[in-house]
Each structure stands twice: as C-alpha cells, then as structure tokens.
C-alpha cells in the first residue's frame, strides 16, 4: 500500500515515488503489474494530478515502470530483470552498511565479473 | 444480504404467481388479489418505517459476513446509505409486485413488461447509487491516506460465478430478443419491448461496473480500505440480483406461453436456469464465507483475520 503523510516534510511526490520504488524493488509489485491511473491515484490520495504524474515520470526515468500509451503504466522488466534489480538493490544496501563508497563497490563488482568472464 | 432479503420478497411472489397461473382464472377475483396485496403493502410500509433500525441489523450482518470493521466514524454514514437503499428498494419493488399480481390474468406481453420494468427501475436505482459511489465514506481532510499501488478491475470484486450470472443474463436477454423476433405475431409488442429493454439493460451493465470500480477510494488506513472494498463488492453483487430474476421470469413466461422452436426454447430455458443458478450459488458461497474480493485484493490476510483501525498491513512473509 502507498501511505501519504500530509505532516511529513518529504514532498508528496517523493513519498509516492519512494514507496512505489521500494515495492517494485522488493518484488511486492511484480513485472507487468498495472499501476493505478494518474487520475485515480491522485483521487485516492487527495493529491494534484501533476504530483502523481511527476512521481510516475521519475519512476519511468529510473526504468522501474513503463508507460504504454492509453493502456496505462506498468511495472517494467521481465521476471529475470526484476530479480536482478532486487539483488542489486540488496547488494547496494549491504555495501552501504559496510561503509564502502560507490566507486569501491563498482570496482569490486567489476573485479568479480572479470574473474568469471570466459576466456 | 440484500439478495437474500429481496429473494424472500420476490421469489415467493413469482412462485405464487406461477401457482396462480395454474388456477382457474375466475378464482382470481378482487378479494383474492386484495388478500395478497394488503400484506405486501403492509410489509412495504413497515420496511420503510423500520428502515433505520433494519439498517443497523444489516450493518452488523455486513461486517460479520465480510470480516470488516466499520469504524465508529463511518457507522452513521453506513446506516444512512443502507436506510436510503432500503427505502428506495421498497418504493420500487412494492408497486411492481402488486402489478405482477394484477397482471396474472393478463397476456404474455403485459406480464413480461412488468418484469422488464423491474429490471429498468432497479437499473435506474443502481445508477442513482453510482452518482454517490466513491464518496460514501470519505475521511476528514488532513489525515494520512492510503492507496492501493495497483489498478483494480471488475474481476477483483466479482467471482467467476457472479460474472457467469451476468454473462448468462445477457445471453438470456439476447436469446429472448431473438425468440420474440422469430415469433413476433405470437408475443406482440409487449414481449418485443420487454426483450429490447432487458437486452439494453444487459448492455449497460459493463458501463455501470466500470464506473463503480474506477471511482476513487480515499482511506485512512487498511481497515477503512478493506471496508470500502467489501461495500463495493456488495454493491456489484446487488446489481446482479435485479437483473437475473426479471430476466429469468421473462424467459420462462415467454417459453411457457409461446410456440417456439425446440432449439430456441431449450437454449432460452438453459440460459435462464444458468442465470438463476449462478446467482444463488454465488449468494451461497458468500454466506459460506468465500469472499472473492478478499482473496484477490487482500491475499496477505490470515483466514478470519479482521483488520482493525490502525493495524499495519501484514506482508506476505508475516502471515
């Protein structure tokens, strides 16, 4: 579920975006799931249409959802892609816990990939 | 629940009507009609007066049957909506029941028109309810709100059996229209108009469903959203009732009084029986606790779990 807290300092569009992104990355929303229309979600949450539209736009920019014209907005990717995304998400969380920065984490990953690459 | 209440009113009357059909027409005098009509009228007036109290009883029954918690904030609104529905239903049903009784001696056309009028009036009543759909239980502004992250459809609220009822009802109406057109000299204008009306009403159903399902649902917490889902599922099932029974009655009346080809008559009867059977089967499933909307929209809930205000929504791993 998406919960909107009017008293929160986080902007509404970011609350919506972040919660949808978490649910997609956590596979609560699987690939192919149709999201509510912008108008419907805006009505349900009591927000302006442009607020929800911005959240959907940012999700689309980050590749989590795709808009298929009048058919609506869907969670993007195949099951494999979504599982890989979830694994990457978990990896990043773990790296942050260990205190490594982005450069180190990418270097670590690249080193592993180079080791396992077919010769 | 309304299906059971209305079935108690409508079906015995249809059985009574069919029983009267077998009686000698001379025996259906004014005295007999009055003796049947007066109790109906008394019952109707009693229901209108007792509607607020009945609404409370129905509200408790609704909450128990759907495993829903109706927060004290929304009890008054729920009772108000239910009272309104009871009074509208009685106001529409009572004159029609009396008309059914009064046309017992009439021809096929008038009887079918009375049945079709039931479908029309209740379609109008459903339309009036749609006007307020999505705004019955809105929370006060400024409170946290909750929304479902995926879109919902009619198949999330209506079970396969209920959908079968609607589809077979539409098929029955179409077959009835075909039967009337194929034997236009026998049924007359009344039968033709009735068949046209029932077919049009069946075509309106998908539009009404689409409107109801896509109306917004503002909810303050999971319990509130669940309650609104239960309400919406009940509304959609109620719409089925007022179309299934008149359609079946019309089909049966026409087949029993008209000389149709065996194939058409058989198809019409089978379709009508499927309509009524699926309607009652769905009602029995609901009474037995198989809540389709709960299975589709709230699969994360444990069996018999009732969400209370403020309860967090359990994730699949926490069941």
Position B19 pLDDT exceeds 50: no
Tell me the H-state helices in chain B.
2-22, 30-66, 72-102, 108-132, 160-182, 184-213, 222-257, 262-287, 292-297
Lowest mean pLDDT among A28-32, B128-132, B166-170: B128-132
* Residues constituting chain B: 319
Give the rounded percent of residues in chain A with a pLDDT score beyond 70. Answer: 92
**pLDDT score for A101:** 82
Rg of chain A over all Cα atoms, to the nearest angstrom: 17
- pLDDT confidence band for A118 (50 / 70 / 90): low
d(CA B53, CA B56): 5
Q: Which of A23, A33, A45, A64 to mutate to test the interface with B (most CBs of B within 10 A)?
A: A45
Cβ-defined contact of A19 to B147 (cutoff 8 Å):
no
Give B80 to chain A, closest Cα distance, Å.
23
Q: Which residues of A are less than 8 Å from B142 in CB distance?
A: 6
Position B294 pLDDT exceeds 90: yes
Give B142 to chain A, closest Cα distance, Å.
6
Tokens of A58: 């940012």
Neighbours of B110 (CB within 10 A): 17
d(CA B100, CA B60): 33
What's the complex ipTM?
0.73
- pLDDT confidence band for A82 (50 / 70 / 90): low
d(CA B118, CA B128): 15
CATH 1.10.10.10 fits A12-75, yes or no: yes
Q: Report domain extents, chain B.
A: 2-135+153-301
d(CA B268, CA B261): 11
Cβ-defined contact of A43 to B144 (cutoff 8 Å):
no
The 8-class DSSP code of residue A66 comes to E
Cβ-defined contact of B148 to A44 (cutoff 8 Å):
yes
Q: Which residues of A are less than 8 Å from B217 in CB distance?
A: 44
Give B222 to chain A, closest Cα distance, Å.
8
Helix axes B222-257, B30-66, angle to 10 degrees: 150
**pLDDT score for B104:** 62
List residues in chain B touching A: CB distance below 8 A. 134, 141-151, 214, 216-219, 222, 225, 313, 315-316
**pLDDT score for B317:** 42
Cβ-defined contact of B149 to A6 (cutoff 8 Å):
no
Neighbours of A84 (CB within 10 A): 12
């Amino acid at each position: 579920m998406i919960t909107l807290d009017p008293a929160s300092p986080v902007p509404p569009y970011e609350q919506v975006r972040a919660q949808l992104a978490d649910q997609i990355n956590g596979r609560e929303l699987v690939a192919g799931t149709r999201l509510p229309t912008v108008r419907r979600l805006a009505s349900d949450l009591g927000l302006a249409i442009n607020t929800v539209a911005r959240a959907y736009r940012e999700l689309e920019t980050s590749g989590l959802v795709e808009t298929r014209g009048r058919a609506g907005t869907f969670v993007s990717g195949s099951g494999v892609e979504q599982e890989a995304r979830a694994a990457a998400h978990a990896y990043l969380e773990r790296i942050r816990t260990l205190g490594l920065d982005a450069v180190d984490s990418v270097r670590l990953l690249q080193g592993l990939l180079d080791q396992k690459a077919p010769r | 629940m309304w299906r059971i209440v209305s079935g108690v009113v409508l079906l015995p009357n249809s059985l009574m009507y069919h029983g009267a059909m077998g009686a000698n027409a001379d025996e259906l005098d004014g005295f007999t009609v009055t003796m049947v009509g007066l109790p109906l009228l008394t019952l109707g007036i009693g229901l209108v007066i007792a509607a607020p109290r009945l609404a409370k009883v129905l509200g408790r029954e609704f909450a128990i049957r759907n495993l829903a918690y109706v927060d004290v904030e929304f009890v008054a609104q729920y009772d108000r909506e239910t009272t309104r529905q009871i009074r509208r239903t009685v106001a529409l049903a009572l004159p029609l029941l009396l008309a059914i009784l009064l046309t017992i001696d009439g021809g096929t056309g008038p009887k079918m028109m009375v049945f079709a009028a039931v479908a029309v009036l209740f379609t109008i009543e459903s339309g009036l309810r749609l006007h307020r759909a999505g705004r019955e239980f809105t929370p006060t502004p400024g409170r946290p709100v909750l929304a479902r992250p995926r879109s919902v459809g009619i198949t999330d609220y209506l079970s396969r059996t209920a959908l079968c009822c609607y589809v077979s009802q539409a098929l029955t109406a179409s077959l009835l229209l075909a039967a009337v057109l194929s034997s236009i000299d026998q049924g007359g204008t009344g039968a033709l108009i009735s068949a046209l009306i029932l077919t049009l009403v069946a075509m309106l159903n998908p539009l009404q469903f689409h409107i109801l399902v896509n109306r917004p649902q503002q909810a303050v917490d999971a319990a509130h959203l669940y309650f609104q889902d239960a309400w919406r599922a009940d509304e959609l099932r109620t719409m089925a009732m007022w179309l299934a029974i008149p359609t079946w009655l019309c089909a049966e009346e026409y087949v029993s009084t008209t000389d149709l080809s065996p194939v058409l008559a058989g198809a019409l009867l089978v379709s009508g029986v499927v309509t009524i059977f699926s309607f009652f089967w769905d009602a029995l499933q609901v009474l037995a606790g198989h809540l389709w909307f709960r299975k589709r929209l709230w699969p994360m809930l444990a069996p018999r779990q009732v969400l209370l205000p403020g309860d967090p929504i359990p994730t699949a791993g926490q069941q």
